[in-house]
Structure formats: C-alpha cells, structure tokens
Amino acid sequence: MDKVDLLDKFGKISANRDQLSAVGRDPTSIVIDRIISPTEAIIDGKPTILVGTNNYLGLTFDPECVAAGQSALAEAGTGTTGSRMANGSYAPHLALERELADFYDVPHAMVFSTGYAANLGTLAALVNTGDVVVMDADAHASLYDGCRMSGGSVYRFRHNDMTSLGNRLRRLAEKASRTLIVVEGLYSVLGDRAPLREIVALKREFGAHLLVDEAHSLGIYGEHGRGVCEELGVMEDVDFIVGTFSKSLGATGGFCASRHDVLPLFRYASRPYIFTASGNPSVIATTRAALRQISARPQLRQKLHDNAERLYRGLEAMGLRLGADVSPVIAVRFEQSEDAARTWERLLEAGIYTNLFVPPATPDGSSLLRCSVSAAHSEEQIDTILQRFREIIEPAKSRAAGS
C-alpha cells in the first residue's frame, strides 16, 4: 500500500486552482489597491465600479458611522485583547445587544465576532447529540459547519422544496420536536428567497423549531428592514434569527436574536463565543451607527430595490440567464465555467468588479457571476455596468452563432 503524506491532499486543490487560472486570472489573486467610495475602487491601477461587495446600503463611508468608529478608536483603543468571557465584554457590546433585541422586537440578542462565528456558535450551542437539523441544500457553508460542530444529525431537503421538507419532517416522527429547520431568508448565490410562510406552516404541523439566517436580507426587506421574516409576516414563528454585520451594516461581526429565554445561556455553551476575542470597539461603534441608519433612512431600501430592478431588467433584456427573483443579489448564469471565467476577467479589464462562482462553490453545480447591488450605485453606474456587459456578451454570442 502506498504511503500517504499529510500534504498530498493539496495536489487536488492545486489542480483546481490551475484549472481556474488556465482561462484567465485567478479571482483569489485580485487586490483592491484603494477604495474610493462604497461603489468605486482602484484595481490594477484603473478606476473600477464595485458590483460584488455585498455593501447593500452603501454605509461603509457613511459620515455618522465613520465618526462613531473614529471616536471609539480614540476612546477605547484598537481591540479588546480578550474574549467576552475573559476581559473582552465592554459596555458597547451590551448596548449593541440591547439595540439588536429592540430592533427585532425580541427580549434577547447575542453578538459574535464574525457572522461565521455567529452561525457556528448558535448551532453548536443549540443542537447536541440526539438532536436533528433539517437544512436547505443551498444553505451557507457556515451553517453546515456549525451543524458538524454540534454533533447533531443533519438531513438536507431540496432547495426551497416544501414537499421535500415535509417528507423529511414526516419521517422524523417523534423526533420532530427535537428538530431545527435551518434556512436563509435571501440566498447569497442565486438571490432567491425562502418561502417562509410555507416553512412556518410545516414547522407548526410537526412541532419543530426554526432558525433563519438573514445575513443577506437584514436592512433590505420588511417595513423596518428586519429581513424576509418581517416582509412575509412570520416574525412570531421564527425561533432564532442569525445574521452578520458585514453586509448591510458595513462592518464585521454577527448576532443571534430570539424570543426564547435560553439564548443568554448560549454564552456558557457556545465555544466560538467563549474562545474568540470580542469585536473591536470601533467596529461595534460603526455597527451601532449603521443599525440606526436602517431605521432612520428607509429611503436607502427603496433606492437599493430600484437599482436592483434596473440592473436585473437590463441584463434580462440581453437574453442572459439570471436567478429567478429580482433582488440585490443578481446571478448571471453560464453553461460552461470557462465562459463565466472569461466574462468575469473581461469585465474586470473593463472596470467592472463582480464575483466569479464556479463548481464546487455553487449550489447546483453551475457557473455564474454574482452582482451585488448597492443603494450607493448611481443610475449612471448601473447603466455603465449594463453597457460593459453588453460590449462583452454580444460579441461572444455572435462568435458562438457563427461557429
């Protein structure tokens, strides 16, 4: 039997990298030289429109947020140098938790250092051996990783397929009361939303619990910006809401909010919470300021949706295959990964930054470019993005028709 070395596994990873690089530039090697605004940067020495940053409300340069961060940096220093359980729980951490709880109109909220840690920490505390998770097949990697860490049994159901979810819950029978359904409000790759009303009906029927990840929908949907749960009127039936500060709030960090009194006990059971340094005071300050902006400036949500509609309809008019829903996450889909990679590279050369997704990073094995629309995009910038797509896509279609 051949001896296997610890490092042999990286041969396959290297081959995957080389395959991606063979059709152009490696997306992981792109460096943003300088950020100019929420929607503009210098990349490779040239001005570039950013349409792949998840900066949905454009708050990264908001004057109130920047001033709050600068003040906290001067007053509290650069970091806490400890976990929340040790020396890293400052008064602003507790204030942000109270403000998040008030924002969601629930008694409890808990702040984590990253959105990834929020998912790991919530699931690891909530689910143990003997418990069950039934998860949408397209759920984010951090949700899957949290389930692995938890020790519970994990079953997938087909993406947004209520028959598949119902069958899973039915087979669990008496274990349904120990089951957590895990879905996202807005899915981050294809930009479609979970059918939460139907999911809540199944949750009620079988007596399960429900966790919704609103990472990409916080600040975007609902009268108060609470997400898809609020938009669809199911807030009362969602047991746990998790999310991140790194999208609409323009910072880093994550949270869990709940009406259940067990949430404060997660502080004693969640290893990612216990053993990770707490969020920097400046980041907590900018997050609190951004959360106030969501409530105070509903016009940002309207501008975001207007921009998303403008970009989606323009791409649709070119005959491109898009995700099913109009949302701030717009997926432009390709049959071949090589076509997606070449289009991504040509757009970058033309001053448009998007996200390239190829298997195995895509939920259904397809290849796509993800556009993340921002409220900070001007109509002129949206039109420029469309023009660059048109200049690249239409010649490619002509070549394909003539071959």
Predicted local distance difference test score (pLDDT) of residue 29: 84
Query: Quick check: 118 and 246 in contact, CB under 8 A?
Result: no
**Euclidean distance between CA atoms 28 and 249, whole angstroms:** 24
Cα–Cα dist 241/259, whole Å? 10
Res 22: pLDDT: 65
pLDDT at 397: 60
Fold of 20-50+298-402: Aspartate Aminotransferase, domain 1 (3.90.1150)
pLDDT at 23: 61
**Cβ atoms within 10 Å, residue 37:** 13
The string of pLDDT tens digits covering residues 322-379 is 988 899 999 999 988 889 999 999 999 999 999 999 877 777 778 999 999 999 999 9
Measured distance CA(198)–CA(358) in Å, rounded: 31
Q: Give percent of the chain above pLDDT 90.
A: 82
- CATH assignment of 61-296, among 2.20.25.10, 3.20.20.70, 3.40.640.10, 3.60.10.10: 3.40.640.10
Two structure tokens written together for 375: 């409220």
Distances (CA, A) of 289 to 294, 307, 367: 9, 24, 37
Q: For the chain, which residues make up each domain, given as ranges?
A: 20-50+298-402, 61-296
C-alpha dist (Å) from residue 377 to 225, 227, 336, 381, 392:
19, 21, 30, 6, 21
Structural element, H or E, at residue 170 = helix 162-172
Contacts of residue 21, Cβ cutoff 8 Å, sequence gap at least 6: none
| Residue 110 to residue 286: CA distance in whole angstroms | 17
Tens place of pLDDT per residue across the chain (403 aa): 678 888 988 888 888 777 666 667 788 889 999 999 999 999 999 999 999 999 999 999 999 999 999 999 999 999 999 999 898 899 999 999 999 999 999 999 999 999 999 999 999 999 999 999 999 999 999 999 998 888 899 999 999 999 999 999 999 988 999 999 999 999 999 999 999 999 999 999 999 999 999 999 999 999 999 999 999 999 999 999 999 999 999 999 999 999 999 999 999 999 999 999 999 999 999 999 999 999 999 999 999 999 999 999 999 999 999 988 899 999 999 988 889 999 999 999 999 999 999 877 777 778 999 999 999 999 999 999 999 999 998 776 655 545 5
On whether the pTM is more than 0.85, the answer is yes
CA 308 to chain centroid: 17
CA distance 248 to 245: 7
